[in-house]
Amino acid sequence: MADNDAGFEARLAEAARLVVERLERCLSEGEPLMAGVPARLRAAMRHGVLNGGKRLRPFLVMETARLCGAPEAAALDAAAALECIHSYSLVHDDLPAMDDDDLRRGQPTVHVAFDEATAILAGDALLTLAFGLVAASHDAEPQARLHLVHALSREAGAAGMVGGQLLDLEAEDETSLPEAAIARMQAMKTGALIAFACEAGPLLAGAPAEKRERFRRFGETIGLAFQLADDLLDETADAATLGKAAGKDRARGKKTLPALHGHDWTRARLDALVAEAGELLAPEGADAATLVAAARFIAERTR
């Protein structure tokens, strides 16, 4: 990928560096949003969000913001907020009541490193911190902040990620699931936050509705590709490469499109999604090359 990635790897690394720095700062003792936070809770929050990860969603916020001309500091706050929500979802997803995983991002999960109740509370605290970060983001226009809070609440909540997680848990008890139901569940569970990430840039820049909608559809398209690639990785994963029990999702009866249609169909669908994503950003010209390279990375990823 390095030869034709249009600077993607470098920009991903830079976005990761900036967002980790921002998260470090807002989770430090003495920061206004941390005033009075019990030390154990703050430590568990830090463990949940500062433990590695690709930081793909922050990159998408930063890159769509750059492309649309939004203020960088405001984009960074939105990127950090989104990573808090993504990390909370992983902390809760790993709990015994859900996937019951011991390792996340190659390290002990929060409930293993601390305890179950602390992990639940650390997830809750990361979720609420996200809204504090966006609300207090001084470089964003007040109207843009309100739009961001509204969109974040919709995509992370019952109509988005949380609802998708419930559908996923329910699907485990079904012997089979129609393709449309699988697609809906995945669009909500995984796609919603990625769609938000891509809408955040035009939203912060006050871009016209057409552009905002097109970037959102780009996000939905790469969100689908992300989940398909993730399911494909799970199909072929072994415990050593993914750090979780091999085939665990399959054993729990997870319903996926690669399981339904097989490897070749999935690869062809991934190629088609990358092409669709590229067409959606065609009006942005050469400036969009890094985001198009990101779409390719998501579809071809091995981690």
Contacting positions for ligand GRG (CB under 6 A): 53-54, 56, 89-90, 92-93, 105, 161-162, 165, 189-190, 230
Q: Which is nearer to ligand GRG, 41 or 169 (CB)?
A: 169
Between 70 and 161, CB nearer to ligand GRG: 161
Task: Compute the least distance from the CB of residue 255 to ligand GRG, in Å.
Answer: 13
Q: How far is the CB of 54 from ligand GRG (least distance, A)?
A: 3
Interior/surface letters 40-70, b for 16+ CB within 10 angstroms, e for the rest:
ebbbbbbbbbebebebbbbbbbbbbbbbbeb
Distance separating alpha carbons of residues 64 and 185, to the nearest angstrom: 25
Least distance between ligand GRG and beta carbon 303 (Å): 8
Is the CB of 87 or the CB of 205 nearer to ligand GRG?
87
CA 28 from chain center: how many Å?
23
Residue number, 67 or 127, with CB nearest to ligand GRG: 127
**Residue number, 134 or 185, with CB nearest to ligand GRG:** 185
Residues in the chain: 303
> What's the min distance (Å) between Cβ of 123 and ligand GRG?
8
Angstrom distance (rounded) from CA 57 to CA 208: 22
Biggest distance spanned by C-alpha atoms of the chain: 54
Pick 194 or 292: Cβ nearer ligand GRG: 194
Nearer to ligand GRG, 18 or 144 (CB): 18
Are 11 and 59 contacting, i.e. CB atoms less than 8 angstroms apart?
Answer: yes
* Sequential DSSP letters for 117-173: HHHHHHHHHHHHHHHHHHHT-TTS-HHHHHHHHHHHHHHHSTTTHHHHHHHHHHHTT
* Whether 94 contacts 104, CB under 8 Å: yes
Q: How far is the CB of 208 from ligand GRG (least distance, A)?
A: 30
107 three-class SS? strand
Return the structure tokens found at 74: 């405001």
Minimum distance of ligand GRG from residue 115's CB (angstroms): 18
User: Nearest distance from residue 215's CB to ligand GRG, in Å?
Assistant: 19
